[in-house]
Amino acid sequence: MSIAIMQPYVFPYVGYFQLIHASGTFVFYDDVNYINKGWINRNRILLNNKDQLFTIPCKEASQNKLIKDVEVLQDPKSINKILLTIQPAYKKAPFYNKVFPLIEEILTLSDGLTISQMAISCVKNICNYLGMNRQFIISSEKYTNQELKKADRLIDICHIEGISDYINAAGGKEIYTKEYFNAGNVNLSFLIPKRCEYIQFGATFVPWLSILDILMFNSKEDIMNKILPSYHID
Amino acid sequence: MNLAEIIKESFSLKEAEQKDDIVLNSIEEWDSMSHMLFITRVEENYEIEFTGNDILSMQTIGDIKNVLIANGKTV
């Protein structure tokens, strides 16, 4: 069995779910610093055959805060605006009727949540929809090793969980070398997604959009059997 | 899409600002997700499959160019 550790992201792109797919245990790394211009609270959907960014507004988001401490801005209008963008964008997609209620639920139940709670709920709900059962752990709720830095903390989490195969997203600030992890009795490998095209509305495929796009255009079976396994690990 | 265009699209870093000694994770728009997507796009565009050691060695823009060149690609 292997473990993956990753910050929580709202409606992330397929690579995030491939990391979950490849692991038996997945840790939401929510007690590390928020990244202002990263992808934690935003992603891209398909609108009129082009990519369109959507952003979950956050209250006083700052790189000095931990992800778990950044609150979603209490602004129903903003959430409604996102839903009103998704609705016409995907209304004619084959799985719209199944997927839109799921998205609506995730977005409208964000009242009083942090971006971390919202993102975790989002990822878990989608995994549940796909029937992808994994052990999910929230780092801030389980581990008291925040004083450890970078790779040492990841290695410590692997030890606590008793898992020696650690899969990382390609690259990362907290990675040293495979030798460093080996010295801690942990095998480090990287997951790299491969493009898996599917039919969207237009003639030209727009790759690497939010998981939302994949859910709208593909059956659960195709996602689980064709799209999610489309990666390599080294 | 060439490397400069992929960097621009992944990290919103203008081509004129893309110096070889820039460490990718020092770019303001860098995070784990953008990096993962960046690596995927480079693989896809250059029709290459990186190894784990390649990924570990690609810290700066110059490092990425070196890995691509070592794999017979033109940057």
Mutation target vs A (from B29, B32, B55; most A CBs, 10 A cutoff): B32
**Chain B: nearest CA to A192, how far in angstroms?**
6
Over residues A28-38, the pLDDT tens digits come to 999 999 998 89
Give the pLDDT band (50/70/90) at residue A76: confident
Q: Which pLDDT score, from 0 to 100, does residue B55 have?
A: 92
Q: Which residues from A are below 8 Å from B47, CB to CB?
A: none
Q: Check whether A111 has a pLDDT greater than 80.
A: no
Given pLDDT bands bounded at 50, 70 and 90, which one contains residue A93? very high
CA distance linking residue B26 with residue A110, whole number of Å: 31
Q: Say if the Cβ atoms of A171 and B58 lie within 8 Å.
A: yes
Of the candidates A170, A178, A188, which has its C-beta nearest B35's C-beta?
A170
Is A178 close to B51, i.e. CB distance below 8 A?
no
The whole-number average pLDDT for the span A33-54 is: 94
pTM of the model: 0.94
- CB of A95 closer than 8 Å to CB of A79: no
Would you state the pLDDT for residue A149?
84
Q: Which residue ranges make up each domain of chain A? A: 2-233
Which pLDDT belongs to residue A190? 94
Binned at pLDDT 50, 70 and 90, residue A177 comes out as: confident
pLDDT at A203 (0 to 100): 82
Which of B12, B39, B51 is the closest to A171 by Cβ? Answer: B39
Instruction: Summarize the confidence of residues A62-73 as an average pLDDT.
Output: 95
d(CA A192, CA A15): 7
- Rounded to an integer, the average pLDDT of A187-197 is 94
Which domains are seen in chain B, by residue range? 3-70 (1.10.1200.10)
The confidence band for A85, taking pLDDT boundaries of 50, 70 and 90, is very high
pLDDT at A232 over 80: yes
- A189 three-state secondary structure: strand
Q: Can you tell me the mean pLDDT for B34-56?
A: 93
Position A110 scores a pLDDT of 76
Q: Count the alpha carbons within 13 Å of A142 in the hemisphere toward its beta carbon.
A: 15
DSSP 3-state of A72: strand
Interface of B with A (CB under 8 A): 12, 24-25, 28-41, 43-44, 49-53, 55-56, 58
Residue A171 has pLDDT above 80, yes or no: no
What pLDDT, on the 0 to 100 scale, is given for residue A75? Answer: 86
Contact A5, A113 (CB under 8 A): no
With 90 as the cut, is the pLDDT of residue A74 above it? no
pLDDT at B11: 93
pLDDT reported for residue A222: 98
d(CA A120, CA A126): 10
Please answer yes or no on whether B37 and A7 come within 8 Å at the CB atom.
no
Q: Which region among A72-86, A113-127, A136-150, A163-177 has the lowest average model confidence (pLDDT)? A: A163-177
**Strand partners for A233:** A191
Residue B12 pLDDT greater than 80, yes or no: yes
Q: What is the mean pLDDT of chain A?
A: 94
Q: Mark which residues 20-39 of A lie under 8 Å from B by CB.
A: 35-39
pLDDT interval class at A170 (50, 70, 90): confident
Q: What is the pLDDT of residue A212?
A: 97
Using DSSP, state whether B8 is helix, strand or coil.
helix
Give bridge partners of residue A206 from the DSSP assignment: none
